[in-house]
Amino acid sequence: MSQFSIFFVPLKGDERNEEALNLCLRTRRVLQVERHVFPEGWTFCVEWLEGEDSGKPQFVRNPQRVDYRDVLPEPVFLRFVKLRTFRKELAQKHGVPPYMVMTDAQLAEVAKMESPTKEAIAKIDKFGEERMKKYGDAILDAATKIAAEEGEAARAPLPRGVEPNRGSDTLVASDELLFTP
């Protein structure tokens, strides 16, 4: 059975009513909110389900944000950044927020793939059949292109004076000058 709560929030002054409204919206299963403006302030009528008042927020976002720079190896993180840029462009093209195309966690899974396939992308947790139909080919094309660029960069000759550090992935400059003034 639904219940109603009515709140008046004045334009100036007392913020307690606004806080009470926000608490109601966070802690109840809200069905509908009607709002009306008056010269003195706003009136809100909140319809909510009885028995759903837990005293705790119903919709809590994950308070722990992941810094992918810390969790992904550097080459994978660089791939992730390129994919994130592509995702933003694709989202703008379709008029949706980037997370609707693919979440950061899903994008990180694609970035981890050495040679991405349509089947592997389709198996990503919670990516879904509809998003796969809508965005899967574009994401696969971008991931494949990024992987190909990485392969070309790995095969490119090193600049004069730079040599691989044996037993490491880093490059070191030799005793020769790389640039002359």
Q: Are residues 18 and 79 in the same domain?
A: no
Q: Are residues 72 and 112 in the same domain?
A: yes
β-bridge partners, 164:
171
DSSP state of 158: P
Q: Are residues 22 and 75 in the same domain?
A: no
Residue 170 in domain: no
Q: Is the pTM of this model over 0.75?
A: no
Residue 32 in domain: yes
Beta strands 30-38 and 2-10 are: unpaired
Q: Are residues 24 and 87 in the same domain?
A: no
Q: Are residues 20 and 97 in the same domain?
A: no
Q: Are residues 77 and 147 in the same domain?
A: yes
Q: Are residues 43 and 105 in the same domain?
A: no
CA dihedral 90, 146, 128, 100 (to 10 degrees): -30
Digits of tens for pLDDT over the chain (181 positions)? 778 888 888 887 777 888 888 888 888 888 889 998 888 888 989 988 876 555 555 554 555 778 888 899 999 999 999 999 999 999 999 999 999 999 999 999 999 998 899 999 999 998 889 999 999 999 999 999 998 887 766 565 656 665 555 554 444 444 444 444 4
Residue 173 in domain: no
| Helix, strand, coil share (%) of the chain residues, nearest 5 | 45, 20, 35
Residue 181 in domain: no
Q: Are residues 108 and 138 in the same domain?
A: yes
Q: Which domain holds residue 24?
A: 2-49
Residue 174 in domain: no
Residue 43 in domain: yes
Residue 160 in domain: no
CATH for 97: 1.10.150.80
Q: Are residues 38 and 89 in the same domain?
A: no
Alpha carbons 105 and 22: distance in angstroms, whole number: 30
Q: Are residues 73 and 101 in the same domain?
A: yes
Q: Are residues 81 and 148 in the same domain?
A: yes
Residue 24 in domain: yes
Number of domains in the chain: 2
Cα-based angle 139, 141, 142 (whole degrees, multiple of 5): 65
